[in-house]
Chain A
Amino acid sequence: MTRANNFISTDTPSLPNGSGAAAVLSAGIGCFAVAALAYGGDKSALVKSHLTFYKPTGPLSGVTTVGILLWLLTWTILEWRWRNKTIAMGRTSAVALVLLGLSLALTFPPGVDLF
């Protein structure tokens, strides 16, 4: 049997899904962090002033910098803990997609004004 045939006949994953689950969940968390920080900056003058890292861009600079750092930090931690594990991917994806949906709602200005 050739090497190619060996590959085709394999039905079981050769890589555990932990690394993929870590990337998916952390992306959901990262988007949610950006949205939550934007919401915080919109509702509180104190948060807004603390998030102004670069004056010409205003609080958007802090919202996105902190959001991206949180995303990368979460991704690093989850990757380190899950990379060799098999994770319940359905549940992990569902949590990530709910976070993504909430992020979309939190950045939509009429939605923000409801809370």
Chain B
Amino acid sequence: MSITVRSLWTLIHGMGFGALYLLACSGAIVELYRFTTSSIPSEPTPGQQRFLKIYLIAMVLLAWAAVLTGAYAIYPWYRAAPPPAPVDLSMFPQRLLMSNPATTGWHSLGMEWKEHVAWFAPISITMVAFVFIRYGRDLKNHRPLRIALLSFTLVSFLAAGIAGFFGAMLNKSAPVQGGRVIQLSRGQEK
């Protein structure tokens, strides 16, 4: 059983940072929705408030880690140009997708959308975390601000969802592979 370095980074980016961020989003949306829809929100205890602050900071770190590893570690491997001589395109995912009309859309729609829309997630959640930390319990007196926070969190979830969906489908159609092989375990004969 083995994995290549590039596949491992893709896993860390998608299943580690990206999927964890999406999971965390659902919790943040529920908490902010509860807090936003009641005209007089229930008073959070200092412990609950501290937990939510740490939770949002973790989301900020996950979101930035996801987009930065995506743009600067995986994307260069994805868009690498093959040499002019006939070559096995499986090591050049973008060219592999574009070589077949049946898969071109995964690049021209999927990657073209994902590579930009994903950045809305860290921008939005950084703002949400900042406002939550700055205002704390005083947010109960700022209903329009709470609605704005919830809206941006929803868009952040949507952006991360689009990026996650296309990331998974792209990696299924043309996986990023190559690099050093890491041996995870040695198979045994039965």
List chain A positions with a Cβ less than 8 A from chain B: 7-8, 11-15, 17, 19-21, 23-24, 26-27, 30-31, 34-35, 38, 54, 56-58, 60-61, 63-64, 67-68, 71, 89-90, 93, 96-97, 100, 103-104, 107-110
Contacts and interface: CB of A to CB of B under 8 A. Distances in A.
Contact of A60 (B75, B138, B147, B151): B75
B123 A58 contact: no
B37 interface: no
Interface of chain A: mostly helix, strand, loop or mixed: helix
Interface string B108-122: 110011011101100
Interface stretch (B5-13, B21-29, B127-135, B182-190): B127-135
Nearest to A106: B116
12 contacts: A7-B137, A15-B134, A30-B123, A38-B116, A68-B119, A68-B123, A89-B142, A89-B144, A96-B148, A103-B120, A108-B117, A109-B112
Contact-size category for B: 35 or more
Q: Which 3 A-B pairs have the closest CB atoms?
A: A56-B76, A13-B141, A27-B127
